[in-house]
Structure 1
Amino acid sequence: MFKRRKPRSYSQLATEMIYPRGGWRRASQYVMHRIRRLPDQPQRIARGFAAGIIVSFTPLFGFHFMSGVLVALLIRGNIVAALLGTFVGNPLTFPFIAVLSVGLGRWILGVEGRFQPHRILEEFTKASGELWNNLLAPFTDRVAHWQNLDYFWDNYFLPYFVGGFFPGLIASVVGYYLTLPLIRAYHKHRARKMAERIARVQAPRPPDGDGPGGPG
């Protein structure tokens, strides 16, 4: 009953992951609209949103939702807000986050060698394939190789994790203090509207016959 008449193709799904229908501006407005309307305390909602932001700066691709939930539980934030906060990390922002995080992490850890930003995606893709191969090796005739994963861990994954923490923390704090007053203002506005609606319903009606045209 609620299915699309014409299902979207895989190419359309992939395209909308990179550029949603209506644009990223409309998508961000939708996220903020959903956050404001969450039925929870403003502080918990803002903490949950901040939790989603900070995990967006980690290299745990495919686990950002799960990580956002765990961080939200840890800091007593709203879980749905945390899931919405993870959308700060998207195909438009990930390249900037990755270059900043890996570059900063390599500098902090003192990783030697030339940093090549254009290889970040390539190294993550290669490491994912190699890890999957090694997991299947005990059950198939494949041969496990761990040397390249060691290189990936030292040069990309660990620097990403370390370097992403600080800008992620800053972004999450900024996100918290930007969303908190917006959520509070919306909740006050909604409470005032509700109070006005209740007052109109409970307002005493004039007795029959006392209005215009009634018996004098």
Structure 2
Amino acid sequence: MIIKKKISQFVDRVKKLDGDPHHIAVGMSIGVFIGITPTFPFHTALAVMLAYILRASKAAAALGVWIGNPLTMPFFYFTSYKTGQLIFKTSLPFDLKYTSLTELIKLGSDATLALMTGGTLIGILPAILTYFITWHIAKKVHLRKKQREHIS
């Protein structure tokens, strides 16, 4: 029930974003991608900066990073690390108490590289899916606004 309400609130926020559906969808995708990567203290800054560079919606990017929240971050960090571990064939310990990039860097370059590589890889598919879902929602909202303008 709570999750359904949160998703509904999130969709409402997306609907309130103004601009070209592609612009909004790219921004949201950037935010989701960055939100999944293990760059926790820098999520919003990185997403907005990347959105600025790629000329995407900075507001959508800032909204998208909220996929990385206290409930999802342990899963993302663990999955990122395990994915990177498989790629680099490392076997360093992983502990969910590490909650920021700076704490993880202290584990060493092997662990950091595994974590960042894994996070990048697992962020790609959700970012692509986010683009199409957001584009669809933004396109519907855009068309409804145009219809209302023609009626008025």
**TM-score, normalised relative to structure 1:** 0.63
Distance in 2, matches of 1:79 and 1:159, equals 29
Q: Contact between 1:52 and 1:85, CA under 8 Å: does it hold in 2?
A: yes
Counterpart position of 2:110: 154
Task: Name stretches of at least 5 consecutive residues in structure 2 with no aligned partner.
Answer: none
- C-alpha change, 1:50 and 1:161, in structure 2 (3 Å) is same
The residue number in structure 2 matching 1:139 is: none
The letter for the 2-side match of 1:170 is L
Identity %: 26
Matched, 1:26 2:5: yes
What is the Cα deviation at residue 84 of structure 1? Answer: 0.5
Within 5 Å, which residues of 2 pair with 1:1-216?
23-113=2-92, 115-116=93-94, 119=95, 121-124=96-99, 128=103, 149=106, 151-155=107-111, 157-197=112-152
Give the Cα separation in 1 of the matches to 2:56 and 2:63.
12
Q: TM-score, normalised by structure 2?
A: 0.88
- What's the C-alpha RMSD, in Å, of the aligned pairs? 2.2
Q: Which amino acid aligns with 1:81?
A: A
1:26, CA displacement in angstroms?
2.1
Aligned length, in residue pairs: 151
Instruction: Kindly indicate whether structure 1 or structure 2 has the higher relative contact order, using CA contacts under 8 Å at least 6 residues apart.
Output: 2
Structure with more of its chain in helix, by fraction: 2
Q: Deviations over 1:153-186 (max 9, x none)?
A: 422x321110011120111000001110111011
Distance in 1 of aligned mates of 2:74 and 2:99: 13
Taking the aligned partners of 2:119 and 2:72, their CA distance within structure 1 comes to: 13
Contact 1:123 1:152 (C-alpha < 8 Å) held by counterparts: no
Q: Which runs of 5+ in 1 are unaligned?
A: 1-21, 132-147, 198-216
> What is the alpha-carbon distance in structure 2 between the residues aligned to residue 86 and residue 180 of structure 1?
17
Q: d(CA) in 2 for partners of 1:112 and 1:49?
A: 34
Secondary structure of residue in 2 paired with 1:63: helix
- Per the TM alignment, residue 124 of structure 1 is displaced from its structure 2 partner at its CA by 4.4
Task: Give 1:196 shift.
Answer: 0.7
Q: 1: CA distance between counterparts of 2:25 and 2:15? A: 9
Going from structure 1 to structure 2, the CA distance change for 1:81 and 1:172 (only over 3 Å counts) comes to same
